[in-house]
Amino acid sequence: MNISQLHVLVVGGATGGAATALLLARAGARVTLLEKVAQPRAVGAGIALAENGLAVLESFGLGPALAAHGRAVAIPLIVDARGRRLIAPPQPTPQVRMFRRNALQGLLLDALAAEPRIERHFGAEVVTAERDGRVTARVDGRTVEHRADLIVGADGVHSRVRASGRFDARERPPGIPYLRALVDIDAAQGVEAWTGAGIFGSFAVEGGTYFFASAGTRACRRAIEQRDLEGLRAVWARTYPPSIPLLAAVRSFDDLILNRVLRVECRQWVDGCLVLLGDAAHAMAPNLGQGANSALVDAAVLLDELRRAPDLAAGLDQYQQRRRPAVADVARTSATMGALAELTNPVARWLRDRLLLPLASRLGGDRTSRVMQEKTATLLAIGRA
């Protein structure tokens, strides 16, 4: 089909939505981007881009900027609270770059601003999206209507596009709370520790350290509910001493970003001219670091299948058939990893560390290609075509 004849409306301007808008616009489509956050540059903590996500962004010219702002890290070694290895990274070790999320978002926003085929609207909250291409949004208290040939719902786990269509979505109840933070000290461990209080990991980013932790015990959850930073520090100091300098560098509880993992599965990703992408279609546990990366792969594959198809309906169907099984496999694996990582019972952790993980390492093959979902060369070629 002729991409240049399409008017595409992308709902959501984060990583997946911005990449979708850029890929489609550079392929010739006229794109309207709606983002509910008025100033999205300031949002977020840290983000890891793997080989698949990097390939998509490099395909439309962000390679030099990514190299300047990202910090190359190895796939993390997974250890226990005493630093003993539980899971070694796959060999050869895949490429990963860590970013401050606002730095990555800034690169994408600058690219959006430089693309003449993209019309941007920030502070525009979508109310409804219809399968015939109509969208109603609220901007500064006013109701604004848009119409497009294709509406891409890249608006995250609480997607308004998904809520508006027939996607047979299943939302799993929120899981264990996670906290994330950026601190301006060089104290990254470069490992992910599976401890009796949950997960704790830290990695270098531009100008500091990004760390994350889960709240796997009542003491952790109580400290979070009470906004008790000292109590949180004390729990982690007892459980995992390498956390001490990182939590000590957090100035106030408000500097922590808190969320609960919410998984989303959709039997259908397409309803008329509505199509889902990223967390709107397949929000997953964070344990493989493939949330944003999978959204970027979605964006590239959507363009690829639209180019190949005789018409819009056929392209959307092929996109769904190509992406849904691949990302479902990653989501299942990530959920399994999360369940193992969050074991806090001492007996269960002993069985996991001494029996299950060694057995899995002997029986399991190289899953890197399945986690990446598409070949790097393929993703690079789609954006450069």
Q: Is the pLDDT of residue 271 over 60?
A: yes
pLDDT for residue 207 is more than 80: yes
- Check residue 16 and give left, alpha or beta (phi > 0: left; psi -120 to 50: alpha): alpha
Give the percent of the chain with pLDDT over 90: 77
Confidence band for 73, pLDDT divided at 50, 70 and 90: confident
- CA-closest candidate to residue 83, choices 210, 195, 170: 195
Q: Is residue 200 pLDDT above 80, yes or no?
A: yes
HSE-up of residue 10 (Cα within 13 Å, Cβ side): 33
pLDDT, residue 40, reads 83
Tokens of residue 155, six digits: 């608006």
pLDDT grade, residue 110 (50/70/90)? Answer: very high
Q: Rounded distance, CA 130 to CA 214, Å?
A: 38
Cis peptide preceding 92, ω within 30 of 0: yes
pLDDT at residue 74 greater than cutoff 90: no
- Mean pLDDT, residues 152-181: 93
Q: How far apart are CA 220 and CA 199, in angstroms?
A: 12
Mean pLDDT of 241-245: 96
- Please give the Cα distance from 290 to 373 (Å, whole number): 10
Looking at residue 162, what is its pLDDT? 98
Average the pLDDT over 303-327 and give the result.
Answer: 97
Q: Would strands 208-214 and 169-171 be described as parallel, antiparallel, or unpaired? A: unpaired
pLDDT above 70: residue 363? no
Contact, 302 vs 296, CB < 8 A? Answer: no
Q: Regarding predicted confidence, which is higher, 193 or 357?
A: 193
Higher pLDDT, 195 or 93: 195
Q: With 80 as the cut, is the pLDDT of residue 60 above it?
A: yes
Closest CA to 275 of 224, 309, 236, 233: 309
At 311 the pLDDT is 97
Q: What is the rounded distance in angstroms from the CA atom of residue 209 to the CA atom of residue 217?
A: 24
Residue 177 has a pLDDT of 86
Residue 82, token pair as written in the block: 């005493």
In the predicted model, is pLDDT for residue 90 greater than 80? no
Show the tokens assigned to 130. Answer: 């219809």
Rounded average pLDDT over 276-282: 98
3-state secondary structure the chain: CCHHHCEEEEECCCHHHHHHHHHHHHCCCEEEEEECCCCHHHCCCEEEEEHHHHHHHHHCCCHHHHHHHCEEEECCEEEECCCCEEECCCCCCCEEEEEEHHHHHHHHHHHHHHCCCEEEEECEEEEEECCCCEEEEEECCEEEEEECCEEEECCCCCCHHHHHCCCCEEECCCCCEEEEEEECCCCCCCEEEEECCEEEEEEEECCEEEEEEECCCHHHHHHHHCCCHHHHHHHHHHHCHHHHHHHHCCCCHHHCEEEECCCEEECCCEECCEEECCHHHHCCCHHHCCHHHHHHHHHHHHHHHHHHCCCHHHHHHHHHHHHHHHHHHHHHHHHHHHHHHCCCCHHHHHHHHHHHHHHHHHHCCCCHHHHHCCCHHHHHHHHHC
10 Å Cβ neighbour count for 198? 26
Q: Which percentage of the chain shows pLDDT scores above 70?
A: 96
Nearest to 327 by CA among 380, 291, 379, 376: 291
What per-residue confidence (pLDDT) applies to 76?
A: 77
Q: What is the rounded distance in angstroms from the CA atom of residue 323 to the CA atom of residue 328?
A: 8
pLDDT at 159 over 70: yes
Least confident interval from 45-54, 85-94, 125-134, 339-348: 85-94
What per-residue confidence (pLDDT) applies to 359? 62
pLDDT at 193: 94
CA separation for the pair 127, 257 (Å, rounded): 26
Is 287 a residue whose pLDDT tops 80?
A: yes
